[in-house]
Amino acid sequence: MAVSTRQGLIDYCLRELGHPVVEINVDDDQVSDRIDEAFAYYRDYHYDAVERIYLSTQVTATRITLNSSVAQNFTNGEVITGQTSGAKATVVNENLTSSTGTSLLVAYIQGTFASSEVVVGASSNFSSTMTAIELGVVDKKYIETADGVLGVVRILPFSAINTGEAYMWDIRYQLRLNDMFSHAGHAVGWRKEFPLSASHGSHLH
């Protein structure tokens, strides 16, 4: 049925709850409050009436391609400097991946690297010539989303999924708690079921 007025929406909701066959013991002010909250939720999240879901994305490092397979010779955490441009960046790991082969992982770029310039590590004193650079999320300072994503209302920090660092109020624990409340026929416990679901989540990741 089409609902075109506030009172019509209230009447529809009460009928869905069983009224008038079932007595709905709520005050008119309580009904009004819930309607206001529903409208507020719709205004905040509807974005053309799409559903609200969680999406994951990896924060990537910038990849510098070297002219030879020597990336592992640079030290993680050291600053590299372009000898032509003077641009600087820090050598980093990306999740569990480190620099190897011709792919040097860096982040926090200051300045603009020149094409085919030599980069030198501050602590390793190792040098190599770069042939290309692909900016990661850290240096782009934005996250690309699919065309179907019409809005982002919150960003939750997600560290490594199974490092043993999670605790009761960690978002990873709370999501798994909601998803696996009825695990093996009883409520999820911290000591037994959470490590099991964390291990499963690491395989999915």
Q: How many domains does the chain have?
A: 3
Let me know: does 198 contact 174? Beta carbons within 8 Å. no
Percent of the chain having pLDDT more than 90? 52
* Per-residue pLDDT band at 70 (split at 50, 70, 90): very high
Q: Is residue 53 domain-resident?
A: no
What the block records as the tokens of 182 is 């009825």
pLDDT of 106 above 90:
yes
Give me the pLDDT at residue 182, please: 47
Contact 151, 47 (CB under 8 A): yes
In terms of C-beta distances under 8 Å and separation of at least 24 residues, what long-range contacts does 128-131 make, across chains too? Answer: 128/66, 128/67, 128/68, 128/70, 128/71, 128/73, 128/104, 129/66, 129/67, 130/64, 130/65, 130/66, 130/67, 130/82, 130/104, 131/65, 131/66, 131/67
Does residue 197 lie within any of the structural domains? yes
User: Which residue do the tokens 């400097």 mark?
Assistant: 81
> 197 and 169 share a domain?
yes
Domain-located, residue 54: no
Write the pLDDT tens digit of every residue in 8-64: 999 999 999 999 999 999 999 999 999 999 888 877 777 665 677 788 888 899 999
What's the predicted TM-score (pTM) here? 0.56
Domain that holds residue 127: 62-140
Whether residues 25 and 92 fall in one domain: no
Summarised one tens digit per residue, pLDDT across range 109-122 is: 999 999 899 999 99
Q: Is residue 134 part of a domain?
A: yes
Give per-residue pLDDT as tens, 120-153: 999 999 999 999 999 999 999 988 888 878 788 8
pLDDT tens sequence across 153-202: 878 766 544 455 555 666 666 666 665 554 444 444 444 455 555 555 55
pLDDT of residue 176: 64
Share the mean pLDDT of the chain. 81
Residue 146 lies in a domain: no
Asked if residue 82 has pLDDT above 90, the reply is: yes
134 and 67: one domain?
A: yes
120 and 85 in one domain? yes
Rounded Cα gap, residues 172 and 168, in angstroms: 9
Looking at the fold, whether 168 and 130 belong to one and the same domain comes out as no
Question: Which candidate, 163, 181, 20, 195, places its Cα nearest to that of 95?
Answer: 163
**Nearest residue to 109 via CA among 62, 142, 77:** 62
